[in-house]
Amino acid sequence: MPANPARITAVDTYDIRFPTSRELDGSDAMNPDPDYSAAYLVLRTDAGDGLEGHGFVFTIGRGNDVQVAAIEALRPHLLGRVVDSLCADPGSLNRDLIGDSQLRWLGPEKGVMHMAIGAVVNAVWDLAAKREGKPLWQLLAHAEPEWLVSQVDFRYIADALTPDQALELLRQGRQGAAEREAVLLEGGIPGYTTSPGWLGYSDEKLTRLAQQAVADGFTQIKLKVGADLEDDIRRLRAARAAVGPGIRVAIDANQRWNVDEAVEWTQALAEFEPYWIEEPTSPDDILGHAAIRKAVAPVKVATGEHVQNRIVFKQLLQAGAIDVLQIDAARVGGVNENLAILLLAAHFGVPVCPHAGGVGLCELVQHLSMFDFVALSGTTQDRVIEYVDHLHEHFVTPVVISRGHYAAPTAPGFSAQMLPESIAEYSYPDGTFWVADRTT
């Protein structure tokens, strides 16, 4: 190590809120009026290379300030860290943060404090990938299996997946990885779109957007359900008519139901052949999901965007409770915990179809799916990344969707960086948008 190695010098935070509730974008059975927001942070260093690490938690409005406060509570763990060693081993930070016994009391490993840890850890991965000059998916796909295993915390999951088993999965994943990387760079990997299906949209808008989705090359769309059964029947019929029989139509209840309701409601919609029912009940209810899955087959059961950590995912897999595992890039403890979850899914043979949308979730999670395709599961069969066409314009390297596929990012980093002018405009409550909003 040099005498004066570069260190982390600042953890700057921002409370960023977009007024999305005014258009009913993002409205569903549990979230009638979200204001898509980000509790955002920038890691700065004294390396003199101009590189920063960006990360964030996605929230839907109120409480974004609490999430920012949680990120700020982690600042002492970051300041003064040597950048080289931090970026060479983000897992060391992950372990320190998860293991801070006083902060652990506020979870453990769940909710506001855990999401804050995820944002900080993700910012380190963004910085590490920028320094490496690679997009994050490529950094991960090119990494040695032994190193990837060292990045995973096996506490509480070793009864389902041992480090040796994980290593074996990653070694198998290397076979043919170069060919798959070429395929990925050529054509991307499949997405599906939720844009037609928000509850607040009219049937006419739903039909138009569903037809547009098919014309755009998507082979799957998704509809929000769960507020009113008659409405859902009408909307699902309209969607099926709009897209025809060859397109998958998933439905998403956003946790609206009890177990019995989930079964009855899903069965009542079965004639329209929904591909999966997403979040039929509480994300905490492992046994409930198992019961629902048994009752609604062949409709598949999907969940994950609100699943708090690898321990709950482990049990969903152990209990045979899900057909589709939906990781989220900003819910769990960052890339390290998502590596654990991807490995668990591969071990149990369950496809991963990430949750995305919100603010920047598409930008982040594409990297994890691309790593999964290139160097772990090795397939895109039954694997699609959610796509929603909101708010991408605020990012420096927004996702690129082409013929229903996510194109592989080539810019170094985790695609997490927001434009400075967007941060200035939508910072709450003192950004230019919010100031103007109050005075008009």
Binding site for a second copy (CB under 8 A): 30-35, 59-63, 65-67, 69-70, 73, 100-115, 154-156, 158-159, 255, 258-260, 281-288, 291, 306, 308-309, 311-312, 314-315, 318-319
Minimum distance of a second copy from residue 174's CB (angstroms):
28
Cα 261 to Cα 341: distance, rounded to the nearest angstrom: 29
Omega before 5 within 30 of 0, i.e. cis: no
Q: How far apart are the first and last CA of the chain?
A: 56
Minimum distance of a second copy from residue 291's CB (angstroms):
7
Minimum distance of a second copy from residue 7's CB (angstroms):
22
Name which of 155 and 205 has its Cβ closer to a second copy. 155
Is 355 among the residues known to form the active site?
Answer: yes
Cα 71 to Cα 111: distance, rounded to the nearest angstrom: 12
Minimum distance of a second copy from residue 28's CB (angstroms):
9
Cα 290 to Cα 333: distance, rounded to the nearest angstrom: 25
DSSP line for 196-261? EE-TTS-HHHHHHHHHHHHHTT-SEEEEE--S-HHHHHHHHHHHHHHH-TTSEEEEE-TT---HHH
CA distances for 8 relative to 130, 333, 343, 373, angstroms: 15, 20, 31, 33
Query: Which token pair is 215?
Result: 């014309």
Name which of 311 and 396 has its Cβ closer to a second copy. 311
Query: Which token pair is 398?
Result: 């927004």
Which of 130, 134, 224, 347 is the catalytic position? 224
Query: Phi, psi at residue 154, to the nearest 5°?
Result: -90, 0
Q: What letter does residue 392 receive in the DSSP assignment? A: G
Minimum distance of a second copy from residue 108's CB (angstroms):
6
Minimum distance of a second copy from residue 30's CB (angstroms):
6
Element (H, E) at 274: strand 274-278
Cα 301 to Cα 297: distance, rounded to the nearest angstrom: 8
* 94 burial type by CB count under 10 A (0-12 exposed, 13-18 middle, 19+ buried): buried
- Taking only Cα atoms into account, the Rg of the chain, rounded to an integer number of angstroms, comes to 21
Minimum distance of a second copy from residue 334's CB (angstroms):
16
Which of 222, 289, 300, 355 is the catalytic position? 355
Name which of 102 and 381 has its Cβ closer to a second copy. 102
Name which of 12 and 260 has its Cβ closer to a second copy. 260
Query: Which token pair is 157?
Result: 């999951």
Name which of 31 and 211 has its Cβ closer to a second copy. 31
Name which of 97 and 170 has its Cβ closer to a second copy. 97
Name which of 24 and 233 has its Cβ closer to a second copy. 24
Element (H, E) at 313: helix 310-318
Is 394 among the residues known to form the active site?
Answer: no
Q: Which residues are catalytic?
A: 224, 355
